Amino acid sequence: MMVAEVLGYLKENSERKNHWKILDVGTGSGNIAVSIAKNLEDLALEIEAVDVSEEALEVARVNAAQHGVDDKIHFFQGDLLEFAEEGEKFDVIVANLPYIGTMRNNFVEGNVKKYEPNSALFGGADGLALYKKLFQQIHDYKVRFDAMFGEFGDGQREELKELLNKYFEQSWRIEKDLAGIDRLFVVNKV
């Protein structure tokens, strides 16, 4: 869903820009960055993909190469925005950070738990620790963007609304997934 939303946003705004700078925070296997690059091969894209795990980045690099988009994606190891320069500007930020809470909303399907590392699944007691940290880094580093898209978990809407209001006032919205569950937040122009 997030990839579809980002693709729609970029296509809708492609006439006003001929070069896009995109940041994929918590890229993991690179599926979001690779999907965006692969689906928009006709646009000039510069995608920066960051993850704390070097092992995940190795998989992401292989995936980018296998899909022929490794020339459009630059991979960085780091903790969220630690690599960013103060005042850096991105057209789009995408974030699919671990959002399962360790104290609640902690249901994880057996196969997922078996094959995914905990660091890719759990985001603190309420599941929003990494989003809190990301939003604070955006504020501290004065990172600017036109749009930010992020996925979150079922039952986190109210806490996420408080976070979004704290950092981005009313320039955001929440979208439902195909099952009718609040799943994606979108922040515009910061």
pLDDT exceeds cutoff 70 at 50: yes
CA distance 111 to 104: 20
* pLDDT (tens digit per residue) in 105-123: 555 455 544 445 444 444 4
β-bridge partners, 145? 90
Q: Across the chain, which distance is largest between two alpha carbons, in Å?
A: 46
**For tokens 């988009």, what's the residue?**
69
CA distance 150 to 111: 24
Give me 133's structure tokens: 């940290």
Which three-class secondary structure state does DSSP give residue 115? helix
Amino acid at 150: G
Strand order in the sheet with 172-176: 73-77, 44-51, 19-25, 89-95, 144-151, 182-188, 172-176
β-bridge partners, 49? 24, 75
Mean pLDDT of 18-46: 91
Mean pLDDT of 21-34: 96
**pLDDT value at position 62?**
98
Least confident of 91-100, 118-127, 130-139, 141-150: 118-127
**Residue 190 CA: distances (Å) to CA of 52, 133, 141, 177:** 25, 17, 13, 25
**Residue % of the chain over a pLDDT of 70:** 83
